[in-house]
Structure 1
């Protein structure tokens, strides 16, 4: 979160366009207390109407006490005298107040300097969290059910989890969890290029299970206004904040889904026992081959595996030419839990479907190990494979 010293309450809205999350303080004393209270604050913006001498005094103090903190001064008119006095006081940059693009660039440069001074690495290099994308090219196979239950189980098991709804036009994550978000992924568009931990925190909604959710926009038309680059930036930041990032997706290879694939450690590909779903899964695997996605980053799961519909699990394996890692049974308790807005792993933790979700999470997400094909359908698994949560040496 960026700290702002400005007496005008309306300044927050103006500066948010360039800086994302902003907290305003109207005095140097209040600003100093905020810096003392949070050692992760690295950026201070001083408004254009703050007295220059006071701004320089504050900057000199910060330079001694918190050298990693960057101070950027905004002025209605920038001249040589202002520049000289400001830079002598330790101000990193002086920016024209109405030039929001230059202000955003200055803030980005200041954060990079602060990270180096504080001994931090960049976001990509310090990444710790794992990103798991749940995908199927056919709708109605249970992607949202898988995503919400995996995320809820991880959250209740002590992990810090972000659930991202990438079905930006018709996402169901919020309604499936009976959440009423006031913000969405759409709110990140204005922060593009400088999304940080605080900016991300400002658009997520907390769920009672402990997970955070980045909801899809309420207006389907907003989906086309969200660039794929914003999704990539969201995920890069999220990996530095959360232990796990679970991504629910639409049944299509949109630019947002492709961005998720590029940033994912594991793809959970869902199939069901019907010809259209199997056909789409086969095409999806072929497409992933063309995209260069590593085969060992893909996990095929068969949902509603015990449905008596004339198609067997071994038929699916033959069609997709890939082993099934896990089978999840059919149960009316699943749609009932969705209607209640409570993930089944929380509502009925001992249910067979809940047990399958937990097995999927523990074996392949939290503690990846050898893939073992379930014996119910007597599928020939061939040689065992070890699934890895790393991609391309990342």
Structure 2
């Protein structure tokens, strides 16, 4: 792997150069963008530190380099220009670092990136990321996440279900698990060690399904940043077939980070106008982030006898509803109270069959061309 910089500040820091030397790496200075052509082999991986001359310059550079050099990762440097982390991520930046450089920060980047490339070269799994979200509680989001994850595991797909409702997440309760460690403990170790293993903090539900639980105390959520989620995404890449994020029922930087790293997004809604209106606002946000094409709208507790008609709901949302889930509260209530997913307790029920059928939407199947496959899932949460 080649490590390069177009920021001369890096080559003038002895402590930074010592970090590269410690890991047996050399940091090469690249004076012009055109010089990359001679340095980058098409099959070789590279990392480039790039100091932005203005805000748009860095984002455009990331996009252009990504198109020309697929194996090149760009780390943007805040050098007198404020970098918007979300814009940088959408442009394809690997990370953003600010001046002055800290040796431990650069060392962390070296370790994590080289581990990622090594896993990829060993032919590890191509991880498929899914985010399940909603604009309010009580619409069946966690029920959907838990059963989707369990259905994947029944197909012998390795799954990590991450509880990103960091204040009041209850994925573990829905699966009748008592985790000894959580995402909070991993985050604390990750702040101290670049190589903090996620697997030390998971709870195994079955042979194929692992859970990374929410913190035990709501106040612990305050210490999480989008960078923690970004590191988590990279840390588990290649270790699982599927990673599912069950998010908090609102929009914040943590949820946005999960959304921006997702191959599929499921948005849960219902047939009342306030919920549909809030979902419309949510969808407008996704559209501004160029994430709308990865979205599937899930209409939960669908009923012809109550709530606004389906056509009206689609008109309010401004796009078709992909998934329609009719009322089945008794089955789900029993499933939640027992801590056993309904795809296990009632495998022959229509709700279970339709959930399992949905797995064909995985990995590269176009959301726009797919037909609605779910038709039954009541609200649990």
TM-score by length of 2: 0.64
User: Partner of 2:353: helix, strand, or coil?
Assistant: helix
Match of 1:136 among 134, 137, 145: 134
Q: How many residues align?
A: 269
Q: Flag the structure with larger Rg.
A: 1
Contact 1:152 1:209 (8 Å CA) reproduced: no
Q: Unpaired runs of 5+ in structure 2?
A: 1-101, 376-381
1:261 and 2:271 are equivalent in the alignment: no
Aligned to 1:177: 175
Q: Could you tell me which of 273, 279, 288 is aligned with 1:281?
A: 279
Equivalent-residue separation in structure 2 for 1:161 and 1:374 (angstroms): 21
1:204 aligns with 2:181: no
Change (3 A) 1:177 1:209: farther
Within a 5 Å distance, the mapping from 1:51-130 to structure 2 comes to: 109=110, 120=118, 128-130=126-128
How many angstroms apart in 2 are the aligned matches of 1:112 and 1:321? 40
Aligned counterpart, 2:351:
353
Contact 1:236 1:263 in 2 (8 A): no
Cα distance change, pair 108–323 in 1 and its aligned pair in 2 (3 A) = closer
Q: Does 1:372 align with 2:381?
A: no
Superposition RMSD on alpha carbons, in Å?
A: 2.8
CA distance in 2, matches of 1:367, 1:111: 26
Find the aligned partners of 1:145 and 1:294 in 2 and give their Cα distance: 24
Q: CA deviation at 1:295?
A: 2.2
Instruction: Give the gaps of 5 or more residues in structure 1.
Output: 1-100, 377-394
Equivalent position of 1:295 in the other structure: 292
What secondary structure, in the 3-state scheme, does the structure 2 residue paired with 1:179 have? coil
Once the 2 structures are TM-superposed, how far is the Cα of residue 210 of structure 1 from its aligned partner? 3.0
Residues 287-330 of structure 1 show CA distances to partners (whole Å, capped at 9, x for unaligned) of: 1122x233211111111112631422111111111111121121
Residues 132 and 141 in structure 2, CA contact (< 8 A), matched pair in contact too = yes
Equivalent-residue separation in structure 2 for 1:353 and 1:327 (angstroms): 11
Secondary structure of the corresponding residue to residue 241 of structure 1: coil
Contact 2:303 2:326 in 1 (8 A): yes
Give the 3 Å change call, closer, same or farther, for CA 319–132 of structure 1 in structure 2.
Answer: same
Show CA shifts across 1:100-122 (max 9, x none). x9678657646766x59xx8267
Question: 1:191 offset after TM fit, Å?
Answer: 3.3
